[in-house]
Structure 1
Amino acid sequence: MTFKLKEFLKAQLSAFVGGLFDFGIYSFCYKVLMISAPLSNVVSGSLGAVVNFTINRYWSFNNTAVPLASQLWKFAIVVMGSIVLKSTGIHFLVDVWHCHFLLSKGIVEIIVSLGFNFTLQKFWVFKQ
């Protein structure tokens, strides 16, 4: 397994851009639409995933040789797992321990993005 710093940094930038989009939608759902924090995360995570997939496929991992459908179903599985992990973490931090909803989202995002998302995207979804 070859680890490329440039590719890692590009993937993190992609995650950051997708994350900004995700945070905006999450905040809107939670504060304006008054949807619970875990459900707001499901909505925002799903929409942020579209942004993240597009950037990763065409720029971060630059892997367009593999058919889109082949990557998309794998990415969908990773996103579902990611959303479950993040929503569970956010539930505990916000609903059980009464932490601030944005701080909770930030903490959970970092842990899941680095430990789960990057690893599966690099070595499974966008594997070259």
Structure 2
Amino acid sequence: MPRKKSIYTFLQAQVAAFLGGVTDYGLMIVFTEVVKLHFTFSILISGTVGAVINFSINRFWVFKNQSGYSSHINSQLFKFALVVLGSISLKSSGTLILQKVFQIDYRIGRLITDSFVSYGFNYPLIKYWVFRVNEKQNVIESN
């Protein structure tokens, strides 16, 4: 049963990442192609919006970690913000490297970079650091 729950949580997290990611990617295209910002700046703005969506879905649906304690959410927001900063930095630099060094279009480079950052950086940190629930919290919140 724990393995089944773990797979279900992983799939839910992928839905959250997908919804945040689609928003992020779409806004990146709009800011780059329509507003004419350099794609690294577009990624910063669009990544922030996508992160808000991702955080909300993860907190209230995936990890159901919605304790009423404001310090608890403040801690999660702080940790999530650090993950987002790392994620945006990795996505921007990875996309830039693929574009400059390998002449890969930024839209394709972004998709390649995102796949590595999402599974190798974002998911583990979000699951095991941002929304980690220790046994003490489980006992308190279940009462």
TM-score range, shorter chain: over 0.9
Find out whether 1:104 has 2:106 as its counterpart.
Answer: no
Residue 37 of structure 1 and its aligned partner are, at CA, apart by: 1.4
Task: Say which structure, 1 or 2, has more relative contact order (CA 8 Å, 6+ apart).
Answer: 1
Task: Map 1:47-86; keep pairs closer than 5 Å.
Answer: 47-65=49-67, 67-86=72-91
- 2:35 is equivalent to residue 30 of structure 1: no
RMSD: 1.3
* 5+ long unaligned stretches in structure 1: none
Identity %: 42
Among candidates 15, 18, 22, match of residue 17 of structure 2: 15
Decide whether the 8 Å contact of 1:94 with 1:101 is kept in 2. Answer: yes
Distance 1:89 1:109 in 2: 9
Q: Structure 1 29/52 Cα, relative in aligned 2: closer, same or farther at 3 Å?
A: same
In 1: Cα distance, 2:36 partner to 2:97 partner:
18
Gaps of 5+ in 2: 134-143
Q: TM-score, normalised by structure 2?
A: 0.84
* TM value normalised by structure 1: 0.94
Deviation at 1:100, TM superposition (A): 1.5
